[in-house]
Amino acid sequence: MATGEQGPTAIELRDVDLSLGRGAARVHILRGVSLSIPEGQATGLVGPSGSGKSTLLMTMAGLERPDSGLVSVAGQDLGALDEDGLALFRGRHIGIVFQSFHLVPTMTARENVALPLELAGAPDAFARAGAELRNVGLGERMDHYPSQLSGGEQQRVAIARAVAPDPAILVADEPTGNLDETTGGSIVDLIFALRRERGATLVLVTHDLSLAAVCDRTVRLRAGRIEAAEPAVA
C-alpha cells in the first residue's frame, strides 16, 4: 500500500481503466488513473465536463467497477467484494453527499438520517440521527419531510445522513451545485467542519475553484487522465 508523508493511505487507485456503454456507444472514461489519498486529507477533483471526475469518485466509492486496475479503500480491495459486499462496505466506511441530495421523499429528516444506521442494524439509530441533525442545525426540523425543507436544509440532512454512520471516507459530488452562493458557502463550511471534527478523508468533485482551493489537494482531470495534482503526493 502506498504511503505518503501525511500518513497511511485511505484510498489508493492504481492503473484504473474504465469504459462505459456498449458497441459504438462505448466511451473510454478513465485511462490508467493512479492516485493515492492519505487518511484525513481533503481532495478536490476538478476538470471540465466529461473529464471523468464523477466516474472517478464513483469508482472510489465502489459504485462503479473498473475494467482493470486496483481500487483500495480503507485497506480493502474493492475488486474482491461482490455487489452486496460493496453495499455493506459503503454502509460502514463511506458517506456520500450528492448534488441532488437524493433524500427519500416519504421519510422525515430524522428517518432519512437514521436510514443507513438502521440498515447497519444500529439499535440507537433514531437517537443518533437526532444528534446528527442537531449538529447540522436542524434540531427543529427533524420531523419535516424533504418537500417541506429548503434546498440548503435538504443538503444539510443529506450531509447528516452521510456522516451518521461515522464513515472513514466522505465523498461529495458537486455538493453545492444545486444551491445558491450563500447557501453553498454554508454547506461547504459544514462539510469541512464535520470532516475536521471526525478526521474523515474527504473527496469532492467540484467545478467551483474556490471550493477546490480550500481542499488540502486538488486533482485535475482531463480526458480520463490525471493532468495535475497540487500539491503532488507520491
Beta carbon of residue 234, minimum distance to other proteins (angstroms, whole number): 30
Beta carbon of residue 55, minimum distance to other proteins (angstroms, whole number): 8
Smaller CB distance to other proteins: residue 16 or 233? 16
Of 214-233, which residues contact other proteins (CB under 8 A)? none
Smaller CB distance to other proteins: residue 64 or 208? 64
Q: Look up residue 18 and give its amino acid.
A: L
Beta carbon of residue 7, minimum distance to other proteins (angstroms, whole number): 19
- Among 70, 57, 72, which Cα is nearest to 171's? 57
**Size of residue set near other proteins by CB under 8 A:** 49
Residues in the chain: 234
Adjacent-strand bridge partners of 216: none
**Segment lying near other proteins (by CB under 8 A), choices 9-17, 30-38, 57-65, 67-75:** 57-65
188 is an interface residue for other proteins by CB under 8 A: no
Adjacent-strand bridge partners of 7: 4
20 is an interface residue for other proteins by CB under 8 A: yes
Beta strands in the chain (DSSP E): 9-20, 27-38, 42-46, 68-73, 76-77, 94-97, 169-173, 201-205, 217-222, 225-230
126 is an interface residue for other proteins by CB under 8 A: no
**Whole-number Å distance between alpha carbons of 43 and 180:** 23
Q: Kindly state the helix (H) or strand (E) to which residue 187 belongs, with its residue range.
A: helix 181-198
148 is an interface residue for other proteins by CB under 8 A: no
120 is an interface residue for other proteins by CB under 8 A: yes
Question: Left if phi > 0, otherwise alpha if psi is -120 to 50, otherwise beta: which for 174?
Answer: left
131 is an interface residue for other proteins by CB under 8 A: yes
CA distances from 76 to 24, 162, 164, 190 (A): 34, 20, 21, 28
Smaller CB distance to other proteins: residue 122 or 223? 122
Interface residues with other proteins (CB under 8 A)?
A: 20-21, 54, 57-58, 61, 63-64, 83-84, 87-88, 90-92, 96, 98, 100, 102-107, 111, 115-123, 128, 131-132, 135-136, 161, 164-166, 173, 190, 193-194, 197-198
